[in-house]
Structure formats: structure tokens, C-alpha cells
Amino acid sequence: MEKFTTLEGVAAPLKIVNVDTDMIIPKQYLKTIKRTGLGTGLFSEMRYKEDGSDNPDFVLNQPAYRNAKIIVAGDNFGCGSSREHAPWALLDFGIRCVISTSFADIFYNNCFKNGILPIVVSKDDLDKLFDDADRGANATLTIDLAAQEIRGPDGGTVKFEIDPFRKRCLLEGLDDIGLTLEKGTQIDTYEGEKKTEQPWL
């Protein structure tokens, strides 16, 4: 998993509450188990018209936000069914951080397992970040995970809380497999002892 230390990028304002996982990645894209290629399906029902052309009204289709790395979103982001394809699609598009006042638990946990930082902020701080994001190409935010700080284009800062274990995993790029491999020496020792004690196994 790619490490998350400091992220600087354009923040796209998605002023919608209760964005569910079917809106993030509609069900027709769930046939694959690959984590790549899903970026084209991200928010597809809002991004594309019926004829397949881009919907110019959708924020990620606007020139200033096409390369956004951060989404500033309304309350309860990632609700609905527990599809891991949702963070896969965000990551494949290039989104590494989502900021909201609240997230659905399963989506929140899946983000950390896939190298995306979900940040919970207060309503007042979200309003400030929406103001920053509304600036278009000038809406560059800096996310400093080590300092647990969001820095705006005018130098303003927003502090955020994060579980220390999850913070460490992101900083070091450790997913579940990486955490297991950290115990490689102990696992090898255990397996060696078992072969000696119970050679018939």
C-alpha cells in the first residue's frame, strides 16, 4: 500500500449529504475483483449523460477539478452497502483523502485498508473547507498526516483526530498483508517449532 505522509492537491466540493456506495461506484461495475480500472465508473451516474458524454455540471468534470486529489463532502459519506469497490474507485481516480463531518463505519474502515485518509471535521470547519474548495484551481489543500493538520490556500489550518494505529498504518503504508508480514520472523519461528514438535502435521 502506498504510504500517506503529506498530500497537496486540489479539493473538489461535493455538497451532497448521504452519498452512498452505489453513487460512488454503481453496481454494474462490481463484476471485477481488480482494484484498477474502476476510476472511470466513479460517480458514473452523475458524471455521465445517458449518451455516455460528460455531464459538465458534475464537479469532477469541471476543468478545475478533473485532477482533484481530495473531496470535501456532505454528511454521512459512504453510507449504503459495504462494497470495497467504493474506495478502490476513488483511489483509481486519484482521490487520496475525503473530508466530511461523518462517514459510514464500513466505508471508513475500508478507506484505511486501501490507503485513503477519511478525515472527520466539525460542521464549522467543513464550511471553511467548502469555501476553500469553491475556489476551483486555487483550491489547493495540504494534508499533513503526521501533524494531523489541513492547511488551506490562505494559510489557515484545521486540526483533525485519528486513531494512532490507523495513522501509523497509513504513514508506513501497511495494509493487512503488510501488518502480517511484519510478524514474519515470529511466524517462521512458530512454524519451525511446530515441525519439530509435530512432524506428522
Measure CA of the first residue to CA of the last residue in the chain; give whole Å. Answer: 34
Per-residue confidence band for 177, with pLDDT thresholds at 50, 70 and 90: low
* Phi, psi torsion values for 87, nearest 5 degrees: -65, -30
The three-point CA angle 95-101-106 to 5° equals: 65
* Mean pLDDT confidence for 169-197: 74
CATH topology of domain 6-175: Aconitase; domain 4 (3.20.19)
Facing residues of 7 across strands? 143
Q: How far apart are CA 32 and CA 30, in angstroms?
A: 6
* The pLDDT of residue 68: 96
Per-residue confidence band for 35, with pLDDT thresholds at 50, 70 and 90: confident
Percent over 90 (pLDDT), the chain: 76
Q: Where are the domains of the chain?
A: 6-175
